[in-house]
Amino acid sequence: MNNQQAIKEKPAIKDKPVIKAKQVTNRGEEDYIKAIYKLSDEAEGDRVTNHQLVTYFAHTAQTVNEMVRKLEKKKILVYQPYKGSLLTALGKDEAVRLIRAHRIWETFLTEKLGYAWEEVHEEAEMLEHLTSSKLADKLYAFLGAPTVCPHGNYIPVLSDMNRDDLDTCGRLKLSKAKKGKQYCLKGVVDDKALLVYLNGLAIYIDLCFTIIERDLISDIVTLAYGGRNTSLSGAVAQKLFVCEVYDAEDNT
Amino acid sequence: MNNQQAIKEKPAIKDKPVIKAKQVTNRGEEDYIKAIYKLSDEAEGDRVTNHQLVTYFAHTAQTVNEMVRKLEKKKILVYQPYKGSLLTALGKDEAVRLIRAHRIWETFLTEKLGYAWEEVHEEAEMLEHLTSSKLADKLYAFLGAPTVCPHGNYIPVLSDMNRDDLDTCGRLKLSKAKKGKQYCLKGVVDDKALLVYLNGLAIYIDLCFTIIERDLISDIVTLAYGGRNTSLSGAVAQKLFVCEVYDAEDNT
DNA sequence: ATATATTTTAAGGTTAACCATAAAAATTCA
DNA sequence: TGAATTTTTATGGTTAACCTTAAAATATAT
Ligand SMILES: [Mn+2]
Ligand SMILES: [Mn+2]
Ligand SMILES: [Mn+2]
Ligand SMILES: [Mn+2]
């Protein structure tokens, strides 16, 4: 209905249809991979049970089973009924890639755009799925190759791909810290309610404090910092990662 | 099956399930909105026919019809069979919001991450759908409130929301330019093949040139710039937007 | 060793976004 | 004013990612 129908020569420059998103894995699958990677830290034998995924995602057992079986077919994990799932090397690479992208975005949003640390997780949770290695690497370089995200968690690099202790390395859960010693906060679990709670207590990454009380019966840790004392439940203390401070400096 | 089942007190800080992506419109719909907005520039009476969408997306007529009817139900457009679709005010706002996000991302990718201008469209095409107004505004401020994207197209701001001439304002298609006059390239259609082609010809935004030949029979424009002459087809010239340069400066 | 509880899976459903085939309706052209 | 062409729409499919209900398999605890 227009000019050139017989003159069809070179692949001329013409209006191209919008590109189709054709990814290998999609958001649903990718979030399962990350979840299994994360949950396998705590679980015995590193296996992640379907039940863990049911509670983590608030999906039905049926849905979890379907997803797990699908990822199994894709060689991303090995699944044993009643035992749980174990990521393959392929699956771990995927997980680390996603966690890397996630933390890079979180760093970008806080460092460059001025987001608060409790605001970045949701955004990163979406952006991570659209992040090619190229984009991740360019962003990472732009940020100056940061080692940690705003919550103090390590941003993995390629050489970390198969390290299993990504989230602990060198750090200690505050719940395992000892009375009388001094610690520095180096990481927190990225949970919005927790982050807002910590804001209210003026607790942030790199804060140093002394443990002045450790009540093992009520499971309460009491910290002293900035001229105040704060008591935290064991549940919260389990979500804070610290390093011991050896040189006893003044930190009022 | 664990510690506190009777002690259910405050909304305690516990593991939250991963957030669910709950957007009002999704990628498919959003790309239709943008397409209708873009195509309505050229179309008569601003209406966009289903046929235009069929060729634009390379979707079937059936699919286009379904999407159009769905968007109609959502009050995003008004559709008249055999006539075409017209965006409502709501639809236009959506379109401009998306175009704004798209161009902001493109600017970020080139200005901050060093992407080439032909590499950014696909990335932006995905990122735009995950961009809240908050994110768009923060990115925009971070970029220093740029007026144009890497392809020279205007980045709309809120006050532009209902302007219809977003993509022309003040500029002229090179295909309409006159022999002997001098012009400055101010914008190009964001088409990858075109961008790569222009790279090869050392043609970029803000290049100034003189039209030394305008062959209306063969539909060819010949430009002189940087000590060279280049001939472009009318099809290409239609995708370049220029401003006339009045002060005849030296630009060899 | 059973009974109970938990976990898995079978069977079938929903919605979104696509597809194909073909009938119906409107437009355009001679 | 037909006849040819184009546009729309009715019907029915597919896949991905969720769901419910309920049966089957396994684990655990007495
Ligand atoms: Mn996070
Ligand atoms: Mn995610
Ligand atoms: Mn673009
Ligand atoms: Mn898009």
pLDDT of residue B246: 84
- Nucleotides of chain D in contact with protein CB (under 7 A) are 6-12, 16-22, 26-27
**Interatomic CA distance for residues A100 and A161, integer angstroms:** 10
Q: List CB contacts (< 8 A) between B29 and chain A.
A: none
Domain with CATH 1.10.10.10 in chain A: 11-163
What's domain B172-251's architecture?
Roll (2.30)
pLDDT tops 60 at residue B33? yes
pLDDT of residue B44: 62
Decide if B236 contacts B197 (C-beta within 8 A): yes
Lowest mean per-residue pLDDT among A120-129, B34-43, B196-205: B34-43
In the block, residue with structure tokens 């755009």? A113
Please write the tens of the pLDDT for every residue from B147-199.
999 998 899 987 665 555 666 667 889 999 999 999 999 888 888 888 889 89
Chain B 158-177 residues whose Cβ is under 7 Å from strand C: none
Residues 6+ apart with CB under 8 A from A241: A152, A168, A171, A172, A173, A174, A185, A186, A187, A188
Domain with CATH 2.30.30.90 in chain A: 172-251
Smallest Cβ distance to A18: which of B15, B57, B112?
B57
Given an 8 Å threshold on Cβ–Cβ distance, is A191 in contact with B138?
no
pLDDT of residue A7: 25
Over residues B204-219, mean pLDDT: 92
Round and report the angstrom distance from CA (B45) to C1' (D1). 30
Please write the tens of the pLDDT for every residue from B83-131.
999 999 999 999 999 999 999 999 999 999 999 988 999 999 999 999 9
pLDDT of residue B170: 75
Total-model pTM? 0.82
Task: Give residue B15's pLDDT band: very low, low, confident or very high (50, 70, 90).
Answer: very low
Determine if strand D comes within 7 Å of the CB of A61.
yes
Q: List CB contacts (< 8 A) between B236 and chain A.
A: 13
Q: Which ligand is nearest to the CA of A104?
A: 1
Give chain A's count of helices (H) and strands (E).
8, 8
pLDDT tops 90 at residue B139? yes
Decide if A126 contacts A196 (C-beta within 8 A): no
Other CB atoms within 10 A of residue B252 CB? 7
Other CB atoms within 10 A of residue A183 CB? 23
Share of chain B above pLDDT 70, in %: 82
Residue A159 to residues A97, A155, A163, Cα–Cα distance (Å): 12, 11, 8
Its CATH class, for the domain covering B11-163, is mainly alpha
pLDDT of residue B210: 96
Handedness of CA A133, A139, A145, A151 (dihedral sign): negative
- Regions of chain A where pLDDT drops below 70: 1-25, 42-44, 159-169, 247-252
